[in-house]
Amino acid sequence: MPIHTYFEQNGDSSALVVLLHGWSDDEEEYADLVAAVKMLEPNADLLRPHYRKGIAHNENPFVVASEVEVAISETYEQSLMDGKPYQRIVLIGYSLGALLIRKAYVYGRGSEEDRPNYPHNTPPNDWTTHVERIILLAGINRGWSLDNQPANMSLIRFIAWRYVLAPIARALPILKVLKDIERGAPFVVNLRIQWIRLIQREPNQMVPVFQLLGTVDSLVSSSDDRDLYVHREFIYIPVEGADHQSIIQFDNKKNKELGQRCWKKFTEALGAPIQKLREEYEGEQHVTQELLEPKEKHIIFVLHGIRDYGGWTGDLREDIGRVATQLQLPMPKVVTAKYDFFSMGRFLLSRFLPRRSRHKYVRWFMDQYTEQIATFPNPNSKVSFIGHSNGTYILASALKQYQTLQIHRASFAGSVVPREYPWEQYIREEGRVETLRNDRAASDWVVGLFPKIFDQLNFSDVGSGGFDGFNDDAANQLEGPYYIGGHSAAIQPANYESLSKFILTGQVERDERLTTRTQPGWLVILSRASILVWSLVFLLVFGPPIYFVMHAHYAAAIAYILFVLFVTSYI
């Protein structure tokens, strides 16, 4: 087991408190918190799972959360066998521990799509019906991120973390758990989606949840709790003047007043009546139920590709709105979220770079996806997708990594997804994609020549699905003729209405004037021999510097390499 547990019996053991630590497992750091629980809950047993084994140990958060759930379940079962079943259970998690304790609860409730080595679709565990409340202390609910400077982090500290410490940590084969709880990571996103869907399915069976957060916390923001606000029994409790560490330092010798304030807030969260807390902190809530859209909503993501700033996505959004009005359909929410420009060279070679740009944007997309379903939490709301080039890769990669991702309709143009992609699994077996439309362009040399070789070698997670089509029959039900033109032929303005109607109604109507039945023979031949194209590229890139080095022209070799790097950063 990746965890070991400390168990203490106290008083008549009428209750169980489960306390899960954060990144650090230093006993002294949690002494105040443990003492507070014992004082405030003298008749409660205390279960403290520990999951850290040193800085070099790579804990898997999925496994840790699963084992925490098992530990709680076994402790509860033992209380039944002893004839003194627990009447109530309280779950408490600090920082990273807040994510893990929520995940353990979610697993216990039967949401186990991503639970490792465990049978899925099992009924809820009986212990979850006795949970009275969940207390999160500075919970990193949305994961940590250094994409922007946190409001309460100094500029010097931000620069040090983002540009020095974080890159080193990502490159090292340790600290895996920290990488797994970055914003947008599968563990974080799956948890947030599972939480929302639990509330959608069983809104009256979810227990009250409290998030205690310091007002000067440099790691967590109050805006990170959108998925928690979907639950009507969530209460945000701010702690004035506390940061990420001091929120659990009740005996704060440097600032006794702050320690007493933190103690008071924790005491309230642990023992005060729910209605009293709701009334007391009603004005502190950042997202009220009125700000959440209760009606069913069709959310449509439109994602551009590489070497593209996504200007066309705004035009398509307008056309989708126009078609929705014309067909008298409810107005959808069209999300044209954009990401940074990056070159084809970085895209194709991303697999071999320390921080893969392609994968970074997959996490970015899934964070956006989660924020949208938290904003429109109606259980009948649906999410559809239109993607071009790298946009198609983002969705395909996300489907593989995030077991909770569900897409209503997907429309691909100039796809760089491999031909062997397992659409059969996601469309027919799991039902996570309802319909796929794959538009190909006749003269798409970008896909036909460059990602094609990875398909031929079965070597990468990109390929020529947007040029050759997909092998799985489930992906080809709406396949039609080729669009006349190159890589962007299917996202030309003349095709906007066709894309809009498909994404809104599921009907495919292609303008025959924009299509052709054949691809240019020369491109088909060259595509099949794409290794020759890559060989030429290799010679152009590496031939001259090798020649220069062989003839001792080192300055020329360095100058040429710098020139190639400059050029490939823009093409």
Confirm whether 149 is domain-assigned.
Answer: no
Beta pairing partners, 4: 50
| Cα–Cα dist 33/36, whole Å | 5
The answer to whether position 161 is within a domain reads no
DSSP 260-290: HHHHHHHHHHHHS-HHHHHHHTGGG-SS-GG
Nearest of 67, 85, 96, 87 to residue 4 by alpha carbon: 67
Q: Scanning the structure block, which residue is given the tokens 């084992």?
A: 67
Half-sphere exposure of 494 (CA within 13 A, CB side): 12
Count other Cβ atoms within 10 Å, centred on residue 298: 22
What pLDDT is recorded for position 571? Answer: 59
357 sits in which H/E element: helix 357-375
| Cβ partners under 8 Å of residue 72, min gap 6 | 16, 18, 47, 89, 104, 108, 127
Examine the domain organization and report whether 454 and 544 are in the same domain.
Answer: no
Residues 308 and 453 in one domain: yes
371/238 same-domain check: no
Query: Which residue from 318, 407, 333 is spatially nearest to 366, judged by alpha carbons?
Result: 407
**Of the candidates 222, 75, 183, 208, which has an alpha carbon nearest to the alpha carbon of residue 133?**
208
Name the average pLDDT for the chain.
Answer: 89
Residues 234, 310, single domain; the answer is no
- Please indicate, yes or no, if residue 176 is contained in any of the structural domains: no
Give residue 290's pLDDT: 58
In a domain, 159, yes or no: no
Are 347 and 242 part of one and the same domain? Answer: no
- Structurally, the chain folds into a number of domains equal to 3
Does residue 488 sit within a domain? yes
Count of C-beta atoms within a 10 Å radius of residue 103: 27
Same domain, yes or no: 457 and 392: yes
Q: Which of 69, 59, 49, 175 is nearest to 115 (CA)?
A: 69
Backbone angles phi, psi at 392, to 5 degrees: -70, -35
Same domain, 276 and 425: no
Domain boundary among 239, 269, 291: 291
In a domain, 45, yes or no: yes
From residue 159, alpha-carbon distances to 153, 175, 218 in Å are 10, 20, 13
Judge whether 550 and 543 are in contact, CB under 8 Å: no
Q: Are residues 476 and 395 in the same domain?
A: yes
Evaluate whether residue 382 is within a structural domain. yes
**By the 8 A CB rule, do 471 and 427 touch?**
no
- Per the domain annotation, does 191 fall within a domain? yes
Element (H, E) at 93: strand 88-94
Q: Choose one of 273, 291, 309: the last residue of a domain.
A: 291
Give the whole-angstrom CA distance, residue 450 versus residue 531.
9
Tokens of 243: 């940061």
Task: Write out the residue range of the structural domain in which residue 303 sits.
Answer: 298-528
Write out pLDDT tens, residues 518-565.
Answer: 999 999 998 888 888 778 877 887 888 888 888 888 888 888 888 877
For residues 97 and 195, state if they share a domain.
Answer: yes
Whether 367 and 438 share a structural domain: yes
pLDDT value, residue 354? 47
Same domain, 65 and 11: yes
Provide the whole-model pTM. 0.89
CATH number of the structural domain spanning residue 450 = 3.40.50.1820
Averaged in consecutive runs of 10 residues, what is the pLDDT profile of the chain (571 residues)? 84 91 87 94 94 73 95 95 93 96 96 88 90 96 85 81 76 77 94 95 89 93 90 93 94 92 96 93 77 85 79 93 96 85 56 58 93 93 95 95 97 94 95 96 91 80 91 90 95 96 96 94 89 80 85 86 71 59
Q: Are residues 547 and 514 in the same domain?
A: no
